[in-house]
Structure 1
Amino acid sequence: MLKDMDKYCFLGCLIEIGGRGPVIWQVMDWDRRRMISLVTDAEHQEDPVQVIAHFKRHIKTLPLDIYQIHMSERGDLLRVSTDPKDDPWIIIWRFEMEDLQLEKLLSGVEIVIRIELCEISRLAWGVDLVSYGTGEAEKRVVFKYALTELNVWMWLSHHPNIVPIDRIVLDEIRGQIVGFTTPNISGGSLEDNPSRGFKLKWLKQLIQLVDDLNLRYGVIHDNIIPRHLLVDPETDDLLLINFNFSRRIAGPVRLFIFDISGQEMALVILTVYIIITGEKRFQYTHDTEKISNAAAVMELEEWTPAPGMILDHPVSAYRSLLEEWTRQRRAAHVEARECIN
Structure 2
Amino acid sequence: MVKSLVDCRTIQFSKLRELDRLGPAVDLRLYQDEEGQQRKVVFKIYATYKPRPISMFWPELHLFHRLPPHPNLLALDRVVLEDIESRVIGFTTRYISGGTLDNMAIVFRLEWLKQLLQVVDFLNLELGVMHQDTAPRNILLNTETDKILLYDINYSASKKDDQLVDQDDVAGVTFTLHELIPGDQSFTAGHQRRNGINMVRDMPNWIPKRELNAEVSEFRRVLNDWTMKRTADGNMMERYLNATSPILIPEMPTPPDYEIPISYGATANGEPVWDTGP
Q: Above 0.5 in TM-score?
A: yes
- The 1-side partners of 2:89 and 2:65 are apart by 15
Match of 2:64 in 1: 153
User: What is the root-mean-square deviation in Å for CA atoms of aligned residues?
Assistant: 2.3
Q: Shift in Å at residue 158 of structure 1?
A: 1.2
Structure number with higher relative contact order (C-alpha < 8 Å, ≥ 6 residues apart): 2
What does residue range 250-289 of structure 1 map to in structure 2 within 5 Å? 250=160, 263-282=168-187, 284-286=188-190, 288-289=191-192
Instruction: Give the 3-state SS of the residue equivalent to 1:277 in structure 2.
Output: coil
Bigger radius of gyration: 1
Q: Partner letter of residue 167 of structure 1?
A: R
Q: Structure 2: which 5+ residue stretches go unaligned?
A: 47-56, 249-278
Do residues 295 (structure 1) and 198 (structure 2) align? yes
Aligned residue pairs: how many? 229
Q: Shift in Å at residue 124 of structure 1?
A: 2.0
Q: Partner letter of residue 77 of structure 2?
A: D
Instruction: Give the 3-state SS of the residue equivalent to 1:122 in structure 2.
Output: strand
Match of 1:114 in 2: 13
Q: Shift in Å at residue 233 of structure 1?
A: 1.0
TM-score scaled to structure 1, two decimals? 0.63
Match of 2:98 in 1: 187
What does residue range 82-231 of structure 1 map to in structure 2 within 5 Å? 96-98=1-3, 101-102=4-5, 106=7, 109-133=8-32, 137-146=37-46, 147-148=57-58, 149-156=60-67, 158-191=69-102, 193-231=103-141
- The 1-side partners of 2:17 and 2:5 are apart by 27
- The 2-side partners of 1:223 and 1:161 are apart by 15
CA contact (8 A) 1:220 1:247 kept: yes
Instruction: Give the 3-state SS of the residue equivalent to 1:305 in structure 2.
Output: coil
The 1:206–1:271 alpha-carbon spacing in structure 2 relative to 1, beyond 3 Å, is same
CA contact (8 A) 1:199 1:312 kept: yes
Match of 1:330 in 2: 231
Q: What do residues 23-64 of structure 1 show as CA deviations (whole Å, max 9, x unaligned)?
A: xxxxxxxxxxxxxxxxxxxxxxxxxxxxxxxxxxxxxxxxxx
TM-score scaled to structure 2, two decimals? 0.76
CA contact (8 A) 1:120 1:131 kept: yes
The 1:240–1:159 alpha-carbon spacing in structure 2 relative to 1, beyond 3 Å, is same
Runs of 4+ that moved beyond 6 A: 259-262
The 1:338–1:206 alpha-carbon spacing in structure 2 relative to 1, beyond 3 Å, is same
CA contact (8 A) 2:101 2:180 kept: yes
What percentage of aligned pairs have identical amino acids? 35
